[in-house]
A = this chain, B = another copy of it.
Amino acid sequence: MLEKLLAAADAAREPCAALPAGTRAEALRRVADALDSAAGDLVPLASRETNLPERPRLHHELERTTFQLRLLAETVTEGGHLEVVLDSPDTCWPAGGRADLRRMLVPVGPVAVFAASNFPFAFSVAGGDTAAALAVGCPVVVKASPGHPELSDLVGSLVTSALTSTGVPDGAFGVVHGFEEGRALVVDPRIRAGAFTGSLEGGRALFDLACARPDPIPFYAEMGSVNPVFVTASAAAERVEGIAEGYVASFTLGAGQFCTKPGLVFVPVADAPAFESFTAAALAGHVSEPLLNTDIEDRYAASLAALSAHPAVRVLVAGEGVAPSLLGCDAADLLAAPADLLTECFGPVSMVVRYSSEEELLACARTFRGELAASVHGSLPDEAVSRLVTVLTERVGRVLWNGWPTGVSVTYAMQHGGPYPATTSAGHTSVGTTSLRRFLRPVVYQNMPQALLPEALRDGNPLGVPRRVDGVPHR
């Protein structure tokens, strides 16, 4: 099965790369239409396999997924993602003159996509990684999540039919199941890039395999993150109750099973008692949701127990089973043992960290190595906050002001990534239109005749793509 899919993906490499952008866009739109039409089957199946509620969650996630496909279709039609740069020939150009040089990005070839368990639509078989790879003309082999195998096959068959109906070559898309199949996929010479959403352990293991190949390939793993939130003294003084309510809503969303869950909130020690009791009060009214599956529930229980048992940790709210929990600690303890206290705990728990000075808050911010997002709740003017934003910019992919990290919109500017261990490739994003860049690489043609050039590079710009010409942006 795997061998057949890989051989087919390899055979589809050239024909997929040759598909016009319009065909690829139409294919993505047909996939989106097919998924939307099948919502009545897909959503109940997803709910049964993942324990996630049909409404609003899974319906919204499916809408997001099909919107993502349509937005990437629009993006590849526009063509800015090709990053076309043209140099006209110039014998007077310094350092030896220059030829006629025409650069664009081309697809890397077959991509292995490793689906996540916690977003059965948006980060799974027809999710962002698959959409981005197909959009730019790369065949895709998805390794399905063991958490929703039937849904994966149903979505897979809808994708295949939609692609076939658009004339996309056979072999452009396939789904496999199984741990060993995933390992085989990432080391296969026909696979040219990998994308993953999931745990640090899983992502790192696959990244290591990708790098150790005789011919290493890029492996874009989006992994764990604690997504710290920093509440300044002025914000706490102004609106501690509202911040506590927003905090609870964010860290319990989807039963805390989001990679953007705020895992830590830093609160001034003076405001901490009030913040903690408002948080506990908000949690008291919270209706618990089951976790994705018993495996994840067991792992949550174990990591929560380990964190709760740490001598520096206070258990502020001990949720029973999957009911949300709240932990607490002091910034000084976190600074003394960051490796112990900065671990991601996948599920409905978060920790309040009491800090005693702006210097201590900055020191805490500096302990982070790589995060998907960091949030600052502040109010201006505030001299110290600018320093904090600078420190966070060096460590995260997204910096929020007076907001919460959950809820990653699919847009042109979105960045969902960050330095390791948030991802294995801080230079890229797995959400938003610039996610296409992961599956592209530059090629330049030197003095190539018009007839042999890709259309996007020809004189007169027949495709109307944005281009930079002799150093100047043109349209």
> Which chain A residues have a beta carbon within 8 Å of chain B's beta carbons?
13-14, 17-18, 60, 63-64, 67-68, 74-75, 78, 80, 83, 85-87, 93-99, 101-103, 106, 108-109, 192, 207-208, 211-212, 215-218, 369-370, 380-381, 385-386, 389-391, 393-394, 396-403, 407, 409-415, 417, 419-421, 424-429, 433-434, 437, 440-449, 451-452, 466, 468, 470-471, 473, 475
- What are 19 inter-chain pairs, A to B, with CB distance below 8 A? A67-B94, A68-B95, A87-B414, A93-B409, A95-B410, A101-B409, A101-B413, A106-B394, A108-B426, A192-B419, A208-B211, A215-B369, A381-B451, A396-B443, A398-B443, A399-B448, A403-B446, A413-B444, A415-B442
By the criterion CB–CB under 8 Å, are B415 and A87 in contact?
A: no
Contact of A80 among B101, B399, B468 (CB under 8 A): B468
**A410 nearest in chain B by CB position:** B95
A443 touching B103 in the complex, CB below 8 Å, given contacts A211-B208, A215-B421: no
A302 CA to B66 CA, complexed, in Å: 59
**A71 nearest in chain B by CB position:** B94
| Residue numbers in B under 8 Å from A386 (CB-CB) | 451-452
Contact of A216 among B101, B211, B409, B414 (CB under 8 A): B211
Beyond A80-B468, A85-B413, A108-B427, 13 additional pairs, beta carbon < 8 A: A18-B390, A78-B471, A101-B411, A103-B434, A109-B394, A389-B452, A396-B443, A397-B441, A397-B443, A398-B446, A400-B445, A414-B444, A428-B442
By the criterion CB–CB under 8 Å, are B411 and A445 in contact?
A: no
A393 CA to B440 CA, complexed, in Å: 12
A407 touching B96 in the complex, CB below 8 Å, given contacts A80-B473, A87-B413: yes
A415 CA to B101 CA, complexed, in Å: 9
A437 CA to B465 CA, complexed, in Å: 21
By the criterion CB–CB under 8 Å, are A64 and B421 in contact?
A: no
| Residue numbers in B under 8 Å from A94 (CB-CB) | 63-64, 67
**A95 nearest in chain B by CB position:** B64
A402 touching B442 in the complex, CB below 8 Å, given contacts A103-B415, A409-B98: no
**A109 nearest in chain B by CB position:** B394
A184 CA to B2 CA, complexed, in Å: 41
| Residue numbers in B under 8 Å from A389 (CB-CB) | 448, 452
By the criterion CB–CB under 8 Å, are A99 and B403 in contact?
A: yes
By the criterion CB–CB under 8 Å, are B415 and A449 in contact?
A: no
| Residue numbers in B under 8 Å from A451 (CB-CB) | 380-381, 386
| Residue numbers in B under 8 Å from A424 (CB-CB) | 216
A192 CA to B85 CA, complexed, in Å: 28
By the criterion CB–CB under 8 Å, are B63 and A95 in contact?
A: yes
A401 touching B64 in the complex, CB below 8 Å, given contacts A442-B415, A444-B414: no
**A448 nearest in chain B by CB position:** B401
| Residue numbers in B under 8 Å from A447 (CB-CB) | 400-403
Contact of A411 among B98, B207, B428 (CB under 8 A): B98
| Residue numbers in B under 8 Å from A216 (CB-CB) | 207, 211, 420, 424
